[in-house]
């Protein structure tokens, strides 16, 4: 991947999937652009977004791998913000070879009849519309180079095996998979592949939040829920962000140049029941 340029959204959290993907691609020689919405200092206590300094720290770590890194604040739900992000990539690097749509949220889980309307809209807006907007505005830069490219969308196993109380999240990720399969056919003639990953349980701050939420709802301890979930994974552990990152790196490489329109589960063999 020497001198290829990769853009990864939702990469502002050091222990998250996006940061792991960025570092893995950098270790393979790519130049990296990372983005996140990034809370301001006054917002940090009210919203679950990484701080700008966190995103910059990830960029500095990427640079220790020897490549160039650019950190950008961007809101994937806003077309103007996405366009501005892509124009910065064009100005700084003049090309785009790999797009990883990782930005995503899960808010206000609960039964549909009790779900706030705004929670549904926001979840679909970030997870589905955000992926659409990034594809729409980044693909022209990828096409300009006439070198082909890779689009990798981070969906979820919930798109195929949805759990109760997660309707908005599951629906949004199912939309990402459908977008992936349709878009793959549109850009195949340009040697651009489009694939999705369907992570299951990944050891991140978001997963820890989900375990605690389930524990509170069921009157159990965090450890009881954690151990119970691991017991349902044949490989006997949660995934690490690096497990997802390695799969992204393969799909972004020349070794996967005949793979497109696919959705790959990264679950350790777990079946959602």
Active site residues: 169
Which residues touch 77 (CB under 8 Å, ≥6 apart)? 125, 126, 129, 130, 133
| DSSP at 157 | G
Angle at 59 between CA 53 and CA 64, to 5 degrees: 130
Distance between CA atoms of residues 204 and 210, nearest Å? 10
Q: Among 160, 32, 43, which residue's Cα sits nearest to residue 102?
A: 32
User: What is the residue whose two structure tokens read 């592949």?
Assistant: 193
Distance between CA atoms of residues 105 and 119, nearest Å? 10
| DSSP at 158 | G
The tokens describing 152, both together, are 């990798």
The tokens describing 240, both together, are 């690490």
Angle at 246 between CA 251 and CA 65, to 5 degrees: 105
- H-helix segments, the chain: 17-27, 52-63, 79-93, 117-124, 130-144, 167-187, 205-218, 222-231, 241-252
The tokens describing 8, both together, are 């990864």
The tokens describing 100, both together, are 């990883």
Distance between CA atoms of residues 187 and 129, nearest Å? 19
């Amino acid at each position: 991947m020497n001198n290829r340029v990769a853009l990864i959204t939702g990469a502002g959290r050091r222990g998250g999937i996006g940061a792991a993907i960025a570092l893995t691609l950098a270790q393979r020689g790519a130049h990296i652009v990372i983005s996140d919405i990034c809370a301001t200092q006054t917002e940090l206590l009210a919203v679950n977004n990484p701080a700008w300094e966190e995103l910059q720290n990830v960029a500095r770590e990427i640079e220790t791998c020897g490549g160039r890194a650019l950190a950008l604040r961007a809101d994937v739900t806003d077309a103007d913000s996405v366009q501005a992000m892509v124009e910065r990539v064009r100005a700084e690097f003049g090309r785009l070879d790999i797009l990883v749509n990782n930005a995503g949220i899960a808010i206000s889980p609960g039964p549909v009849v009790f779900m706030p309307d705004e929670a549904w809209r926001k979840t679909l807006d970030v997870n589905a519309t955000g992926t659409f907007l990034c594809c729409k505005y980044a693909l022209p830069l990828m096409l300009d180079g006439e070198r082909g490219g890779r689009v990798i969308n981070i969906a979820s196993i919930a798109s195929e095996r949805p759990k109760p109380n997660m309707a908005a999240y599951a629906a949004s990720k199912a939309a990402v998979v459908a977008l992936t399969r349709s878009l793959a056919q549109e850009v195949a003639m340009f040697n651009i592949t489009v694939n999705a990953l369907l992570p299951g349980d990944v050891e991140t701050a978001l997963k820890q939040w989900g375990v605690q939420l389930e524990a509170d709802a069921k009157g159990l301890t965090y450890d009881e829920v954690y151990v119970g979930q691991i017991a349902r994974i044949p490989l006997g552990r949660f995934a690490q962000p690096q497990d997802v990152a390695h799969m992204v790196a393969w799909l972004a490489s020349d070794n996967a140049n005949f793979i497109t329109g696919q959705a790959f589960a990264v679950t350790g063999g777990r079946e959602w029941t």
